[in-house]
Structure 1
């Protein structure tokens, strides 16, 4: 069984779709929704005890993947930005006493900024990306990638190209997790 840790419901929804698309065994995944990045970085979170019990007592969890958003490095929270997130993940993993392989994946656009929605928007064709940039520029308020994606693309059928190059690192990590 593979433990996959993530920030929120949108992450799980995308992971389910991704695993379905690539025929990855969802029945071998135990999802843990930590409801926020800061909770993932809390080493005493109750889910980590559950994972530890699953490793030691039940021997049902044999691998783990932690998925977080990169967010924006200019955010006042010190754990925001790709590098800060990566450093915090490495520190967290080093402090675990779990005797299983643990990996991580940071969701962001091609510039290592943002979140799940930034990753998804980065896969749009150039025309769509230019349209969004133009709209953001003329709009009088700051628009997050989450707002743009949820407003314009979330409900579109066949909206995500799971074969896009930007998904290759995630596909490799998930595929590796299910190798015996």
Structure 2
């Protein structure tokens, strides 16, 4: 998301703070002393796909990061007035399959196999979706780690698509 808004130097703490502290790494305590800075955020419009673009045929595969049961419509969506299922033709690669139990990203080989099992080539353009437009970024992160540079985000994701009675929906596996 930071890259989308123009940050060029971005890093991810693989495994998060939990792994950092489990490894005995140092932490600072006390009141933080923030520095004054300016970050002129500028969204890169070509990295986000809208619902209308998908309806019109964006020409890219859609990959949904939600858990398989929600994607297939076997479990209801947690948001009221949002239908079950997925965008027609979408593929499913649950975000949880990208991470180990300790919260770190899986190895490149494991990530490659997960994308392949979902029928997606991470080096080719695709649209990442999820429930609300947040966890889809894990698909983009994993694809970037594998060398992909043209994954796009459907920010509205299922919360927008599934809440619109006019959009088509599918139930079942992809």
Q: Normalising by structure 1, what TM-score?
A: 0.30
- Structure 1 or 2: larger strand share? 1
Q: Normalising by structure 2, what TM-score?
A: 0.31
Which fold has the larger relative contact order, with Cα–Cα distance below 8 Å and residues 6 or more apart in sequence?
2
